Structure 1
Amino acid sequence: MDATHRVFCGNDMSNPITSMGMQVSCILVISHFFNILLKAFGQPGPIAQILAGLVLGPSGMSNIEKVKNVFIQDNSTDINEVFSFFCRILFMFLIGLETDIRYMIRNIRMANILASGGAIVGSIFGFAVSFYVYQQIGGEKNMLPFNFIIMLVLAYTASPIVIRLAVELKFATSDIGRIVISSAIINEMFCLVLFNLIVGWHIGKFHILGKGILSILVTGAVVLLNWYLSVWLNKRNWNQKYLKSPEVLLILSLVIASSMITELMAFNSIINCFVIGLLFPKEGKTARTLLHKLRYSIHNFVLPIYFGYIGFQVNFASFKGLNEVLLTFIMVLLGIGGKLSGTLFACHYLHIPSNEAIFLGFLLNLRGHADLLFISSALKQLNSFGDQAYNVMFISIVINTILSGIIVSFLISGEAKMFAHTRTTLELQRTEDELRLLACVYGSRHISVILALISALHGNQTSPISCHLMHLIELIKKSKSNLLYHEKEEHDFSDEEDYGGNDVVQIHEAVDAFTVETKIPIQQSKAVSSFAGLFKDVCDLSEDLRVSITLLPFHKHQRIDGKMESGKEGIRTTNQKVLRHAPCSVGVVVERGLAGVPGFSQLIGSSPTMQNVATLFFGGPDDREAIAWSIRIAKHPHVNMTIIRFLSASSSENEHIDNHDQEQREVVMALQRGESLDQTLNQIDNTFMVDFYNRYVASNQVEYVEKYVNNGAQTVEALKDIGGMFSLFIVGKGGPGHSPLTTALSDWEECPELGTVGDILASSDFKITGSVLVVQQHRQAKRAIMNE
């Protein structure tokens, strides 16, 4: 706060502020140039930004006297510190908003072990080397704080840099990316708590308790006030897309005020900002507006300038001899060695492969955020660092970050399998595994049944789910495809923000009400493109989010008289292309609830009604995937699930399901004998159904019925018999001519993208009172190059 006083109370404000403005502009321009240059080598943005600061700073262009006179003015350091203070407030608040606290809680043990492994070994290395460094460059300063600061520097991980690298290198949504982000956040918060204790103890042990309690009370009061403000603002702006700017400013003012109070208490405000963001209500327009407003400015302006300023402060000319170079080399070596060895120990304990452990070790070695606060406070507040020690530590931190970032990017390019999207179906997953889902809507008409399916797939509400809703909007004018994220870092404040009209408001309202009702968090995004390119947006986002299933609404909708009316043909072609190119399993939803008849959308609400759901099994991978979806739906407390298996009446398989082990042996023997593909697939289906029967039917979790038919006509009659009994039918898309029970029905096909049975159930001539979910399992062989 002394820096703030000197900046705003000084006699000459023009030159330092102009200098800072020029620094910011040049850092953005040079970092953009480096980013273009280094992107070809797979290097992320933060590395380019730090290098831009190095080029512009005293180690580069500012070493020239005339350039130095322009960029480095009296009081410019104070202005930069104030600017950094506000930057830290904003991006730590944003990190708290973006943090998936549910994932952290579920994986708290693993994240803690990973965070503590590298931190403990790093602090041990730091304690061991601190005595030697003290003798070399710390001579007459306070030794104990000196030792503690070096330990903290070697134990610390900069979560903002870890997050930015994970996002830019596209592994933030992978399992390894999510766990390393959680570990980095835990590490940072713990180190900052220790740092605040060190500073408070140095000021006075009798004052630290009272000031600490006051800071906690202020933070708690802001968190509580935000809860009430969020609810009030959500109701106040019920018919708007976002909050108004003054309302956003009000919330940010509370965050800034509490941070300034914390700083006045002699504590660092990073934890304060993070906690306020972490505990901020995530549902509703308030959180959505904050994310929308903050992400673009922080990711595109604040963080590049902040990282650039780190490099700008480096001054290699401050080295006066070989001794300082040696000490810097030792600190860099110990930083990498401590984090790497500690993380390897932790990963060995957690049974994580060594290649992933090495990658995690270098990621957790990224520094440059709070480290700068540690050594700056050691220089100014704790009186434990001299200028020589400060320069050595600062340069070692920057070198450590640059080296680790470069190594991480090269490890990613060499270990593509580590980050491959592997969980592309539900058949091979356990029901306890996290369900990662992308749901798409073309308008507000589709939102109710999509939300009902999300609720059903969440099952018993205890299994984890990660859900993303994408609003697909046709771009009428000729323009390149633009994906406008509300919950991602890319934004484009253009006329396309107006696309979607009232549908956007209605979808937001429905999602907000759904989140409050079910406690299922849903991230939202909007894709604006021509119908020819929308499928690429869907497939790209499915790949980036590493989802297992993608839900699409059918292009037809049901009229009040029960007839199915076609919508835009572009919706149909988009669905067809997504089915062809999607990197995961796909479900197409046909809403067929007749007027006056409770439909499947009644599954959600303040008093949900029991829903009878049927899964039709004819055989094949798509039908097995449909069963896997049904297992999760069957766990929902308001769903009665029935599996209806269609078998040939003329076949010899009129017995009940045989022994599981015997069926498995038959499949293996069939493969060895080279039997026909149909026979082998039938035996795979039998083995799958045996396992399903023993797990779920025998335990009365689902009902199981077998229907024997001879041909397609009998199949249709059987479907008509059950048409009014269920509110949702789940069926696999199936391949052409796979089952003799449906082959003859292919002549009636109107929408082949639904498969034979799905097309019949979605037909206007087929009278049913339930919606239809057609499932297609992802198969690697089906993936094609998207060159359309």
Structure 2
Amino acid sequence: MVEGQQRRCIMPLPSLNDATKDPLNPLNLMFLQMGLMLVMSHVFYLILKPLGQSGPVAQIIAGMVLSPTLLSQSGALHSFYKATMSLAYFNFLVFLFRVCFMFLIGLETDFSFMKRSLRCALSIAVCSVVSCSLLMISFAWLFLKVLHIQSNQTDVILIDVIVVSNTASPVVYRMVSDLKLDTSDIGRLAVSTALLIELTLNIGYTLMYTFRSKHNFLDVFLLSSFTLAIIIANWYLVPWFGTWYPKEKHISKAQVLFFIVIILILSTLIESRELSSAVPIFMLGLMFPREGKTYRTMLQLLRFPVHEFILPVYFGYIGYRLTLPHSRNGAEEKDPEHGYAGQYLILGVIVALSLLGKILGVLFACRFAKIPNHHAIFMACILCMKGHFGLQLVDSYPELQQLPLKEVADTLLSAIVITTLFSGMLTSSFRRRKETSFVHTQTTIESHPIDTELRILSCVYSPRQTTAAISLISALTSSPQTPLTSLLTQIVELPKKKKPKDAHVEAEFRHDDDYGANDSKEINDTVDSFSKETKVLIQQYRIVSSLSNICQELCDAAEDFRVSIVFLPFHKHQRIDGKIKNDGEEIRTVNQKVLRQSPCSVGIFMDRNQTGFQQPHGSEIPQNVAMLFFGGEDDREALALSRWVAMHPQIHLTLIRFLRKSCLAHSQVTEASHRENEVLMSITNEDAENESDNTFLEEFRSRYVASGEVTYIEKEVEDRGETAGVVKEIGESYSLCIVGKGRAECPMTSGMNDWEECPEMGSVGDLLLCADLSITASVLVVQKHRHSLSDFTPH
């Protein structure tokens, strides 16, 4: 690459003098081209989806069918896609598309997960790039010899290395989303690794080109400073814009247009200086403030067009770039010395090196990172996918567009398409065949390690319930660095006059709607206020459905988001005057259905407003929380959840264990003090359930009680009467009581179901909700998820 060479990052718009070459208006022709590619993409997706193939694979195949290799080889379709005017506009529109989805990828990237997994993702990225580079350099002599490359050898080898080593983050991002792994650890790790690979190669190539073209160094510095200035300005502009229209749910269209124009100006300036704008635009999205309605508005306006329109056309365009040697016209393009055999040989070698290099590098890194084999193979397959950076790199090198290097360009373009298609098919097939290996297994809290990410889903119907849900989220988040992902879902019942077919779930692609709009505004304001004060981010979603379908939609959302527990509001709440008000039997019906069908653990929260649990963040008075332990899997699940509550600095947790007097008289208890001051209890003549209780309690006491973080109390009771008396005292002394729903056979609560009004809350939970006892504490009842064989059976 010589100093001062010109690169084509953006194809310039043609002059009007060329308009006579096209039979149609160029803009109309461009939209017809995109429409045809979009239709073909969706047709092939409908055909290949039943066969287990993902959307990107189908869309790339659609582009290949329309490419010069097949349908566009000659005839009317060839003229249709090779029109001079429309081709220029089409390439410019592809640039705009790339800006949009790179910004959206930055907005949607899980920054907290990316920071936690940075070391692992970086090691995988480095190993894969090094492995691919070494293999490509080792076979460079074959590449140069077979294609008879005499000039620009260093630059051609450099381009080959980047093409073989690169991974297209937009393709991986869409692939992971299509396979419903975007909320899984392995899916997010794949996206993070792909981003690191592409950003690193992009920055490395830019710096290398800059140092070789010294006149561009100042441009890089100025554009980097301009990007940094916009990022800093956004930290102040985004919150400020959110205050302009306090009565509106979203920011105005003019404000959205302002951000989009700034992004386009920055990307155009960068591309006009012969540099790639992918990294700066991604960084703008990644560093965009995440709280407030400005962020929500940008997401809602970009998600639908990008996922449903831009990306299918983009993937189709990748497939369209397939140009096999036999498809080129003109005798001047044929190599008389070795024909097409050498190009096909090099094409096969590049595809093989791309796949082999990624597989070897990724598997090597995953082995040291202790990633399971099936996840390592999945990572190796999906990271082989190529994309626009490679295509742009080949197109932007002028010498590759002239003979004899035109053969090199066509070979590289075809290798990018074939490698992406083959790796996509391989990834989809592996995901389908090993579906049980990707099933969400963290569906309970008891087996969930405290130092790993906890994903929770809180449901609300009204703004009043939002305050209680946020208080619970706050209790589980001891600091903004706590590895916890909280999702808040507003449930809106569809009016009965609407037909079932109109039921709709707004998870990612729904814009403003007419149902629950006023409540949504209040809920958003409450969440924004909490996030601004505590820096704890809460992701928001909406479910709009008929009453009969709410349970199914909610269970599907819990499964898609891979949460470990779902929090539901109780169908009653305590008013300011102390009276209990029923919010509707519909809520109770939904709660009962979710308890039976939920794919994870469930918690039902009864808020007692001012007398009950308050948000601990920012509170000067510590909240006193009691965990009532009677035994059984539900109580163990509730105790496991209490581990996160115990870590909050503004919460004092007390573990109260209920023991039966008659059992204590016949049991043999031995306590021993170890050098680490751990207290162990060994109880004989107990059944398997009690042994599990004691084992879990021992671990909890040695970790939290011995360190002084949790107070431990034992209460001796004989029957339900004594139990009810103790429970009443506890309910008057604490702001929150956490209890398991309870097991069927428990001597200390036997017969209490005779008093039950709400069996779904369990005997103890129902007792704590009794209005006659004047209990002031809020109540959280937890039911552990019951695993079944169907949980591990592919659907």
Alignment partners' CA distance in 2, 1:687 and 1:224 = 52
Q: Which amino acid is 2:356 matched to?
A: G
Shift of 1:294: 0.2
Residue 55 of structure 2: aligned partner: 45
Residue 159 of structure 1: aligned partner: 169
Within 5 A, what are the aligned runs for 1:607-626?
607-626=619-638
Residue 5 of structure 2: aligned partner: none
Aligned partner of 1:170 among 177, 180, 194: 180
Residue 673 of structure 1: aligned partner: none
Q: Report which stretch shifted further, 504-513 or 412-421.
A: 412-421
Alignment partners' CA distance in 1, 2:403 and 2:441 = 51
Alignment partners' CA distance in 1, 2:504 and 2:770 = 34
Match status 1:603 vs 2:624: no
Residue 642 of structure 1: aligned partner: 654
Match status 1:524 vs 2:540: yes
Alignment partners' CA distance in 2, 1:263 and 1:682 = 68
Q: Encode CA deviations 1:641-666: one digit per residue, 9 max, x unaligned.
A: 11111111222258877459999997
Match status 1:421 vs 2:437: no
Shift of 1:9: 5.9
Residue 500 of structure 1: aligned partner: 516
Q: Encode CA deviations 1:259-291: one digit per residue, 9 max, x unaligned.
A: 111112221100010011111101101111000
Change (3 A) 1:559 1:294: same
Residue 531 of structure 2: aligned partner: 515
Change (3 A) 1:647 1:386: same
Contact 1:93 1:276 in 2 (8 A): yes
Within 5 A, what are the aligned runs for 1:599-748?
599-604=612-617, 606-652=618-664, 658=671, 679-736=687-744, 738-748=745-755
Match status 1:270 vs 2:278: yes
Q: Which amino acid is 2:742 matched to?
A: G
Contact 1:149 1:375 in 2 (8 A): yes
Match status 1:412 vs 2:412: no
Aligned partner of 1:442 among 461, 476, 488: 461
Q: Which amino acid is 1:28 matched to?
A: L
Structure 2 SS opposite 1:223: helix
Shift of 1:129: 2.3
Structure 2 SS opposite 1:739: coil
Contact 1:145 1:382 in 2 (8 A): no
Residue 596 of structure 2: aligned partner: 580
Q: Which amino acid is 2:584 matched to?
A: K
Alignment partners' CA distance in 1, 2:416 and 2:45 = 21
Aligned partner of 2:228 among 190, 208, 220: 220
Contact 1:138 1:384 in 2 (8 A): no
Shift of 1:251: 0.3
Q: Which amino acid is 1:619 matched to?
A: G
Match status 1:769 vs 2:776: yes
Contact 1:371 1:397 in 2 (8 A): yes
Alignment partners' CA distance in 2, 1:479 and 1:309 = 38
Change (3 A) 1:110 1:413: same
Shift of 1:76: 3.2
Change (3 A) 1:530 1:485: closer
Shift of 1:188: 0.6
Residue 368 of structure 1: aligned partner: 387
Match status 1:302 vs 2:330: no
Change (3 A) 1:483 1:608: farther
Q: Which amino acid is 2:616 matched to?
A: L
Residue 330 of structure 1: aligned partner: 349
Match status 1:479 vs 2:500: yes
Q: Encode CA deviations 1:29-49: one digit per residue, 9 max, x unaligned.
A: 111111011000111111111
Structure 2 SS opposite 1:603: coil
Contact 1:3 1:81 in 2 (8 A): yes
Alignment partners' CA distance in 2, 1:434 and 1:259 = 35
Change (3 A) 1:279 1:462: closer
Alignment partners' CA distance in 1, 2:436 and 2:191 = 20
Structure 2 SS opposite 1:601: coil
Residue 359 of structure 1: aligned partner: 378
Shift of 1:622: 0.5
Give the alignment's TM-score, normalised by structure 1. Answer: 0.93
Q: Encode CA deviations 1:399-433: one digit per residue, 9 max, x unaligned.
A: 00111001111111111232111111111122211
Change (3 A) 1:695 1:657: farther
Contact 1:555 1:567 in 2 (8 A): yes
Match status 1:546 vs 2:556: no
Q: Which amino acid is 1:427 matched to?
A: E
Shift of 1:126: 1.7
Structure 2 SS opposite 1:731: strand
Structure 1 SS opposite 2:26: helix
Residue 123 of structure 2: aligned partner: 113
Residue 188 of structure 1: aligned partner: 198
Change (3 A) 1:563 1:264: same
Q: Which amino acid is 2:499 matched to?
A: K
Alignment partners' CA distance in 2, 1:481 and 1:623 = 40
Change (3 A) 1:9 1:263: farther
Change (3 A) 1:349 1:601: same
Aligned partner of 2:157 among 141, 147, 150: 147
Change (3 A) 1:138 1:733: farther
Alignment partners' CA distance in 1, 2:399 and 2:16 = 21
Contact 1:55 1:61 in 2 (8 A): yes
Alignment partners' CA distance in 2, 1:695 and 1:655 = 24
Structure 2 SS opposite 1:95: helix
Q: Which amino acid is 1:600 matched to?
A: F
Alignment partners' CA distance in 1, 2:479 and 2:211 = 49
Shift of 1:384: 11
Alignment partners' CA distance in 2, 1:3 and 1:440 = 47
Aligned partner of 2:266 among 258, 263, 281: 258
Q: Report which stretch shifted further, 763-772 or 60-69.
A: 60-69
Contact 2:671 2:682 in 1 (8 A): no
Q: Encode CA deviations 1:92-115: one digit per residue, 9 max, x unaligned.
A: 000111111111111111000111
Contact 2:167 2:385 in 1 (8 A): yes
Q: Which amino acid is 1:409 matched to?
A: S
CA RMSD of aligned residues (A): 2.5
Match status 1:79 vs 2:89: yes
Change (3 A) 1:3 1:586: closer
Aligned partner of 1:33 among 43, 47, 50: 43
Shift of 1:173: 1.4
Contact 2:569 2:606 in 1 (8 A): yes
Contact 1:195 1:374 in 2 (8 A): no
Residue 389 of structure 1: aligned partner: 408
Shift of 1:735: 2.5
Q: Encode CA deviations 1:119-141: one digit per residue, 9 max, x unaligned.
A: 11101112222332233336243
Q: Report which stretch shifted further, 184-193 or 425-434.
A: 425-434
Alignment partners' CA distance in 2, 1:138 and 1:184 = 33
For structure 1, the residue ranges without an aligned partner over 5 or more in a row are 671-677
Q: Encode CA deviations 1:332-352: one digit per residue, 9 max, x unaligned.
A: 111111111111111122222
Structure 2 SS opposite 1:780: coil
Shift of 1:540: 0.9
Residue 100 of structure 2: aligned partner: 90
Contact 1:473 1:529 in 2 (8 A): yes
Structure 1 SS opposite 2:311: helix
Residue 432 of structure 1: aligned partner: 451
Q: Report which stretch shifted further, 647-656 or 701-710.
A: 647-656
Residue 675 of structure 1: aligned partner: none
Contact 1:15 1:73 in 2 (8 A): no
Match status 1:398 vs 2:447: no
Residue 65 of structure 1: aligned partner: 75
Shift of 1:321: 1.4
Aligned-pair identity in percent equals 38
Structure 2 SS opposite 1:557: strand
User: For this pair of structures, how many residues does the alignment match?
Assistant: 766
Structure 1 SS opposite 2:13: helix
